Amino acid sequence: MGQLVRFGVSVEKDLIGRFDRLIARRGYANRCEALRDLMRQALIEKAWDEDAPVVATVTIVYDHHDPGLEAELTEIQHHHHDSVVAAMHSHLDAHDCLQVVILRGKAKAVKHLAEELIAAKGVKHGGMVMTAGGSAI
Ligand code: NI
């Protein structure tokens, strides 16, 4: 953590009351940590809006018996190998596989690749977590 700066914020009593109850339910120790997370979230959203360098994880679930699907998912990742940092595969049961892929690059390219993996025919469920690192947060 860098040098800390203290600042005062004026907030309506009702708003801070509701905020305090929310952050307590989420397990924050104090307002400072909750505010820092909100600020970082806003900066991450800005990076994605501005097509800045970002990081994402993509989680997909699929049946590995689905003909050609594993090959297609591998082909998509090789086609965009510059954006793929790593992939982890877990055999969930006799049929379903879970794959988590870490992506890095310009926001638009990362989002496009994530959408391509999630939309591949046969993928039962998928989602992306958008984040960023370094100077973005
Ligand atoms: Ni598997």
3-state SS of 47-94 is HHHCCCEEEEEEEEEEECCCCCHHHHHHHHHHHCHHHEEEEEEEECCC
Q: Is residue 8 part of a domain?
A: no
Q: 1 falls in which pLDDT band (50, 70, 90)?
A: low
Print the domain residue range for 124.
Answer: 53-136
Cα of 108 vs centre of ligand 1, distance in Å, is 29
Kindly list the protein residues that place their beta carbon closer than 5 angstroms to ligand 1, a single-atom ion: 64, 91, 97
Same domain, 30 and 97: no
Cα of 128 vs centre of ligand 1, distance in Å, is 20
Cα of 93 vs centre of ligand 1, distance in Å, is 8
Instruction: Compute φ and ψ for 121, nearest 5 degrees.
Output: -60, 120
Cα of 12 vs centre of ligand 1, distance in Å, is 52
Mean pLDDT of 87-96: 97
Cα of 105 vs centre of ligand 1, distance in Å, is 27
Cα of 95 vs centre of ligand 1, distance in Å, is 8
Q: Indicate whether 137 pLDDT > 90.
A: no
Cα of 61 vs centre of ligand 1, distance in Å, is 9
Give CA–CA dist 137/133, Å, rounded: 6
Q: Indicate whether 87 pLDDT > 80.
A: yes
Number of domains in the chain: 2
Q: Is residue 6 part of a domain?
A: no
Same domain, 68 and 21: no
Q: Is residue 94 part of a domain?
A: yes
Report pLDDT digits (tens) over 7-58. Answer: 999 999 999 999 999 999 999 999 999 999 999 999 999 999 999 999 999 9
Beta bridge partners of 91: 97
Of 71, 53, 54, the residue nearest 62 (C-alpha) = 71
